[in-house]
A and B are shown apart, each in its own frame.
Chain A
Amino acid sequence: MIEKIYREAKVMEEGELEGVPTWEEIADHPMDELLRTERLPHIWCPGCGLGTALSCFTSALMRSGLDMDKVAIVSGIGCTGRVAGYLRLDGFHTTHGRALPFATGLKLANDGLKVIVFSGDGDLIAIGGNHFIHAARRNMDITVICANNFIYGMTGGQVGPTTPTEARASTSPWGNLEHPFNVPHLASAAGATYIARWTVLHARRLEKSIHRALLKPGFTVVEVISPCPTAFGRANRKDYGRDMMAFYHENAVIRHGARPEDVDIGLGGEIVCGEFVSIERPTFQDRLHALHRERALSEYKPWAELDLEDRLDPEGAIRYKTPLELDAKEDEVEPVAPGEREGREMPVEVRLGGFGGQGIILSGKIMGRAQAIYEGRQVSLTRSYGPEARGGACSSALIISDVPILYPHVTRPSLMVAMSQAAYTKYHGELAEDGLLLVDAELVDLDPEADQDVIRVPATHIASEDLGLRIVANIVMLGAVAALSDVTSKEAMRQAVLDSVPEGTEELNEKAFQRGYEVGMELLEQRDAEQA
């Protein structure tokens, strides 16, 4: 098509074809290597500035020295969104507004890539505005080329986030009521490390700024003011590309180092261009690499440093086997011999109740772990708690069984622990007829009308008076449970306590558990004596 037009033009001019080079001969342009020439001509209108922006970008990229196999370009939706499709790079034409989070994932998965987002103002600043400020805040190592034509071009000229106040658009036929975003100010406030703005009239300077942005670490932004005669121009009395270029020529002023808050663009006002920001700030990648150096196990190289082949081969480097330091001890413990379990009727339902902050959920996990890991039983633990982070009623409920547990909810517990008045009041009615109820002696007043087998355990008293730390009351209570109930063996429970408590607190918790166990045994003897 273009070849035909070209040849026809030549014929018109020169009257004959002899000596005219063929299209193939003249089309050997230095940028061809980076363009998908088979996709040209592009979709952009006559007078549109995006061709110039693309051209400046391409030559900056060619001068950058980057390995083009390791450069990825990501676009959103709109006229500018088509840029990714014309470049012979790994190119991603994503959804509207989402180029930046896509680019974030891409860059984090392969740090060896140079990732560039090339998209429009509507895409990046309106629907993608949240992603823009957060990518800048994180200082993701990404270069953003934001083409700003003051309007939604592809969809027919609707008002956008950068449309100057009072400018007309198909959805602001009486003039735009809103204030536009000042893109450099937004980027600067959010933390970008490099910010420049040029119109497409400033082709050489634009190319230079893009080149700098590409090579500077961190979130770098180049805003390109680009004419849209078809949509913005027609609605605002600049019908042709040359009218808009003339406007840029008359109204653009170069002011390097201008404060970003001073570079608003008003309708018919000046367009301040230049390099506004160039700062140093640690990138997300810098901190991630530091974290990997600090935390990654010696067997695990940071993901981004692995060869791509290794990363993509799940049988290879990504699945190193390592010695386990955390949970391996669970394996080493011998399960309780079957003989020791005899006499316990299964399944058993257990409810532990209290208020948030007492460690009721942790108690449930300890008891569950004792049974599931050390005694090899089936255990289902469910939890319930209110919306309060502290102080609300909460409960752990366990079913312990020798066969798979189907219905996992406790309905008739035969063992119940109440560590608060609210939990006692709420739950004691559901205790099975011959069930055992342990209550905290200090925190629970018993219902005189309830005819239940209740043992009052001074868990909170022991924790605060004997051990000096009220928060281990739950562990004291678990010791008492191990003594008073045959649901779990003392050894399994003790192991589970040690596995579950924070590092460095094992000694205190073991003491609490032991003290609870002793008190439990005393209470058991007392009861036996009373019953005798």
Chain B
Amino acid sequence: MSKAGVLEGAFFFDGDTAIAEGAICAGCRFFGGYPITPASEIAERMSGRLPEIGGVFIQMEDELGSMNAVVGAAWGGARAMTATSGPGISLMLENIGLAVMTETPCVIVNVQRGGPSTGLPTVTSQGDMMQARWGSHGDYAIIALAPASPQEAFDLAIRAFNLAEKYRTPVFLMADEGVGHMFERVVIPPLDQIPIYPWRKPKEPPSKDFLPYKPEEDGVPPFPVAGTGYRIHVTGLTHDERGYPVVTAEQQKKLIPRLLGKIHNNRHDIIDLEEDGGAEGLEAADVVVVSYGISARPALRAVQIAREEGLRVGMLKLVTVWPFAEDRIRELAPQIDAFVVPEINMGQIALEVERCAAGQAKTIPVTHPGGDIHKPDVILDAIREVAK
């Protein structure tokens, strides 16, 4: 590999490489991971690139270790990331829970492949969407972004780091084998044009009375990383503002709503949607296709063809999948006839759409068990069927 710093310019990258380069632009200087198809290219890229820019790559003994190394590195002051797929993400979930509980900023890339179990190692799926939301035990909120192209994978890798820092939370980048292995042009802007959310440095100097888990106005505490003199205690147990374990129902009642609230109450900042409703907006459509990640591409093609046929169809692409775009679905439901939801699983996000539509519009899942992406025709048929 030639020597190169933070890149700038136009490149022909696969999604995995684009994610690695996006992370580097976002200041990622630690990667801990374990090889797995179809995410290994991210680790390979990072192993070559990080030492060039003074960063650290380590291949851990398994995904349990990888996720913990990432959480540890974040507390050591590094912007840290891991990348995995399928069985690997199942192993990481234990310590994604630790990252949620200890409010550790970090990024987890899931280049989704077909499951359950070893499933379809080399081909695509979006079967882990609900796992990303609910997979670790206990009640929590999470942020997940879904890229549809290598360029978006680059862009969202940066956004994932920014959201992680801003809300002190693990953030999922829910790519898939299709995006991860597809090559397209990726434009990397000059660094000064890439917005970076800064370290949430504590405003108070270290003292014995410092409360590491006292939230600031937005519900998020500052981040007193190790070695800065704060000498704080961090635990996966339910804890008070001092960070000390307090395993009572009363303390749980204070902590859990705050952890959920810091995501929920800031959802308008976190949720990013791309709407294509024509001049009159999605409200004027009869059918709104809701999709995300690679599925949004054939979905948009189907929408274009349907419009050529004179159907009133709009497209709502979920760039942020979690937290879910509840407000927008609730708003649209009474004004349209149906949501059509293509996704490469047996209907996961469709359940969310259906919940939020609350019977005011039909929800038509367009499922796919994985291994390939939808052909636009299949989605088009669903649109035609409901728009009749």
Contact = CB atoms under 8 A, between A and B. Distances in A.
Contacts of B32: 101, 104-105
Given A85-B235, A306-B54, A105 B178 contact: no
Contacts of A174: none
A93 B234 contact: yes
A76 B62 CA distance: 17
Given A90-B232, A295-B51, A372-B12, A102 B71 contact: yes
A308 interface: yes
Contacts of B237: 93
Contacts of A291: 51
A304 B76 CA distance: 10
Interface string A83-126: 01100111111110110111111111110110000000000000
Contacts of B55: 303
Interface stretch (B183-191, B343-351, B353-361): B183-191
A311 B12 contact: no
A84 B77 CA distance: 19
Nearest to A134: B61
B227 interface: yes
A109 B231 contact: no
B163 interface: no
A134 B199 contact: no
A134 B237 CA distance: 27
Report which residue of B51, B226, B228, B372 has the largest number of chain A beta carbons within 10 angstroms of its beta carbon: B226
B229 interface: yes
Given A288-B56, A311-B78, A105 B4 contact: no
Given A85-B233, A108-B56, A373-B11, A94 B73 contact: no
Given A101-B64, A318-B29, A106 B234 contact: no
Contact of A381 (B61, B95, B122, B183): B183
Contacts of A107: 72, 76
A233 interface: no
Given A134-B60, A330-B9, A331-B10, A301 B72 contact: no
A385 to B, nearest CB: 8
A297 B233 contact: no
Interface stretch (A156-164, A406-414, A519-527): A406-414
B203 interface: no
A110 B77 contact: yes
Interface stretch (A15-23, A234-242, A321-329, A445-453): A321-329
Contacts of A108: 30, 56, 58, 69, 73, 76, 78
A131 interface: yes
A68 B1 CA distance: 41
B199 A314 contact: yes
A113 B60 CA distance: 20
B53 A297 contact: yes
A98 B98 CA distance: 11
Interface string B290-324: 00000001101100100000000000000000000
A219 to B, nearest CB: 14
Contacts of A330: 9-11
B12 A369 contact: yes
A516 to B, nearest CB: 21
19 contacts: A69-B229, A70-B227, A74-B72, A94-B236, A100-B65, A101-B69, A103-B72, A104-B69, A106-B72, A106-B226, A108-B76, A130-B61, A297-B53, A319-B25, A320-B5, A321-B5, A327-B4, A327-B11, A382-B181
Q: Which 9 A-B pairs have the closest CB atoms?
A: A109-B76, A322-B5, A105-B72, A105-B69, A105-B73, A109-B78, A101-B68, A101-B65, A381-B183
